Structure 1
Amino acid sequence: MSQSVLLTIARASIEEVLQAQTSIDRIELLENYPVLSQPMECEITLYLDNQLRGSARTTSLSRPLLEEIIHNAKIAAFQDEQFDPLVTSEYLHTTIKLTLFTPDGALSHQSEPILKG
């Protein structure tokens, strides 16, 4: 599975809240990427201007990876108690780091901000 798919899911999760509409097609994603239906620990970390802006990590393996990515992205953006909820102007400049915790070790992928500067 492409790292961009995972990061796209994370970004879309945040956008769903900012735009107040559902856009993630869970059925299609699970059909195209069966690994998303398996439980797996993950962490979403947000950075704004290279500074931590929010973070959330899986605390149990009760949900499939797809739901963990969606849940953790929303928690990191809007419910991290160390920060105010993310606003659109910040989101556009936010870097997202997604880390999967596999039996072989941690795998991290990072997206660039939508707008730089």
Structure 2
Amino acid sequence: MTKNDDQAVDALPGDAGAVLVGIARRTLEEELGIERTGSPASTRDHEPAVTSDVEATTVGSGRPGRPAWLDRDGASFVTLTIGGALRGCIGSLTAYRPLREDVARNAHNAAFEDPRFPPLGADEYPGTAVEVSVLGAPEPVPARTEDELIAALRPGTDGVILREGHHRATFLPQVWEQLPDPHEFLQALRHKAGLRADRWAGSTTAERYTVTAYTDLAGEDMLAHDHKDS
């Protein structure tokens, strides 16, 4: 995958997972009115939560002591699960605002604005796992047919964006765990986009991207997953 310095998963430091998941969790806790105890200093010092009614800090005006990578534009998805079942997932496909703000706003939207679910309740929060995925820059996949696209994809590594007319949808690389068969993966993605699952149109375009994902399993140890080229 071609690296883009404006949206590169390789630029993340070793403590990125704790910081980014901390931002996501703090956003949810503030919205839910939950008092956080024992919050790591690194999370508190790097960034307060950015909720829906808080203006974003101007890029480059960063707080003293906050690492510069948090102020760089970045694209992220925040996924919430309870008992392994999806509870919300919202994200950005392109980097257009500071990563710290993107994570906070996507956390808020995943919990309270995902139209597939009711807003997250405070009683649900203790059992909620939070995963933050930081996306690399999407790159076009030249494919005239579904078979050509399947031949170019790397199951388990590539996130995929499909576009056809005004329809668009994406699956993160993590979805390969539930849909390991490429044909089923693309059929489900077409269905998500509101397209016929069994039909590939000549106007369909595809892009792929990689992610680094950080998962906090409801208070358990942080897990980091690289879905990218080794």
- Coarse TM-score class (shorter-chain normalised): 0.7 to 0.9
Identify the residue that residue 8 of structure 1 maps to in structure 2. 22
Out of 80, 97, 122, which is 1:88 matched to?
Answer: 122
Distance in 1, matches of 2:27 and 2:94, equals 20
Identify the residue that residue 144 of structure 2 maps to in structure 1. none
> How do residues 71-110 of structure 1 correspond to structure 2 at under 5 angstroms?
71-103=105-137, 105-110=210-215
Query: Residue 102 of structure 1: CA displacement?
Result: 2.3
On the 8 A contact 2:77/2:106 being kept in 1, the answer is: yes
What SS class does the counterpart of residue 100 from structure 1 fall into? strand
Q: Deviation digits for residues 47-84 of structure 1, max 9, x if unmatched?
A: 01100000111154321101000000000001100000
Q: Deviation digits for residues 66-113 of structure 1, max 9, x if unmatched?
A: 100000000000110000000111111000111001258310110021
Out of 216, 220, 229, which is 1:111 matched to?
Answer: 216
Distance in 2, matches of 1:69 and 1:31, equals 19
> How do residues 26-41 of structure 1 correspond to structure 2 at under 5 angstroms?
28=63, 31-41=65-75
Report sequence identity in percent.
Answer: 27
**Residue identity opposite 1:109 in structure 2:** Y
* RMSD between aligned residues: 2.5
Q: Deviation digits for residues 25-65 of structure 1, max 9, x if unmatched?
A: 7754x742210111111000000110000011115432110
The answer to whether structure 1 residue 47 and structure 2 residue 61 are counterparts is no
Aligned pairs, number: 113
The answer to which structure has the higher helix fraction is 1
Distance in 2, matches of 1:37 and 1:94, equals 27
Deviates more, 1:106-115 or 1:41-50: 106-115
What SS class does the counterpart of residue 92 from structure 1 fall into? helix
Any gaps of 5 or more consecutive residues in structure 2?
1-12, 36-43, 50-56, 138-208, 221-230
Distance in 2, matches of 1:46 and 1:39, equals 23
On the 8 A contact 2:87/2:117 being kept in 1, the answer is: yes
Distance in 2, matches of 1:67 and 1:87, equals 23
Rg comparison, structure with higher value: 2
Calculate the TM-score normalised by the size of structure 2. 0.45
